[in-house]
Structure 1
């Protein structure tokens, strides 16, 4: 697959041949769904917590005698059926992450890249650098490239000025190549890859 390379200002900078093994697969929704579920489950804090009957601060004394009252038998006032008692089967602190084979994760990334390539939603840019950290300047470049919802993947390090200019723009994410992931690729309309990012991806899946 051959794509033209553009500059941040909208000019031409040649072309690049993309590997069909990375960008030419037939996307499978089931693999992408598994990966998104894996990512979202892994990022959950799992810190939600309610107190059980052994944790609430209520007396453990039997509230009234066992027999002769005409009412149901009860023990401590900390039982779940009483106001102020502990919660039955409430949430506890736990890890929501689950396993997903490494090969499936790698395959999911290739399918996500292929899905963007199939939909003509990939733009290759020579480099993402700004002379000064001005959001207005970057918005002007994005308007020339018709970018409003975009994930920008740079090289090993993101240009400081570009990162500062982009961080206050809604629906724009900027990541180094190490941070590329399926969820962020799919949640934005366009995917912008630098020449360095393309080289890193091809070296990674070689």
Structure 2
């Protein structure tokens, strides 16, 4: 697959980049993408939820009423889940939601996400650029030139660039990552993918390891 390289004004530079068919041309595997996204979201869960059960509630344990003759059910403690303020039955307890995925599965999931974006025509290649200082207005002008201001956009750089990262941090629909930080969730979550020219080779080499 061949794409034109754009500059920060949104114009074609005349250069072309060929995306590897081994990554961007494969048949996307939706199931492994789902697994990887599920793992990503599960690993983000804190799992600190907690509710007090019967044994943990601090209430009187005296017998509330006599056993027989009242016409009602037997009741032995205010800690019972049947009473307001009593313990909860099978309440949530702290737990770890994370689970492991095979490295090859995760790799295939990222490949599938890249391939799905490329085959849907949602990938653009942008000429490498940099800012002398963090400037959200300058970053916004690039999105304007690419007609992506109101679009969920993921910008992939060849390497970490603090000025570009800080420039895009305040834009709610934009995320900036380096080629080594890309994960399946970010790829799926974005509507459009902008890959810096120098990042293409790094993305492709990351799958050949």
Structure 1, residues 183-205: CA drift from partner, whole Å, max 9, x if none? Answer: 11111111111133212112111
For 1:15 and 1:62, locate their aligned partners in 2 and report how far apart those are by CA, in whole Å. 83
Report deviation, 1:8: 2.1
The aligned residue for residue 92 of structure 1 is 93
Report deviation, 1:13: 6.1
TM-score (norm 1): 0.91
The aligned residue for residue 155 of structure 2 is 152
Larger displacement relative to structure 2 (134-143 or 6-15): 6-15
Structure 1, residues 107-154: CA drift from partner, whole Å, max 9, x if none? Answer: 000000000100111111222412332222221111111223210111
Report deviation, 1:85: 0.2
Q: Structure 1 regions of 5+ residues with no counterpart? A: none
Report deviation, 1:91: 1.3
TM-score (norm 2): 0.90
The aligned residue for residue 182 of structure 1 is 184
- 8 Å CA contact 1:32, 1:111 repeated in 2: yes
User: Counterparts of 1:1-206 in structure 2 under 5 Å?
Assistant: 1-11=1-11, 12=13, 14-148=15-149, 149-158=152-161, 160-206=162-208
Q: Structure 2 regions of 5+ residues with no counterpart? A: none
For 1:183 and 1:202, locate their aligned partners in 2 and report how far apart those are by CA, in whole Å. 18
- 8 Å CA contact 2:180, 2:203 repeated in 1: no
For 1:73 and 1:40, locate their aligned partners in 2 and report how far apart those are by CA, in whole Å. 46
For 1:32 and 1:155, locate their aligned partners in 2 and report how far apart those are by CA, in whole Å. 23
Aligned residues: CA RMSD? 1.7
Report deviation, 1:63: 2.4
1:79 aligns to what SS in structure 2?
coil
2:194 aligns to what SS in structure 1?
strand
Report deviation, 1:90: 1.4
For 1:105 and 1:181, locate their aligned partners in 2 and report how far apart those are by CA, in whole Å. 9
1:54 aligns to what SS in structure 2?
helix
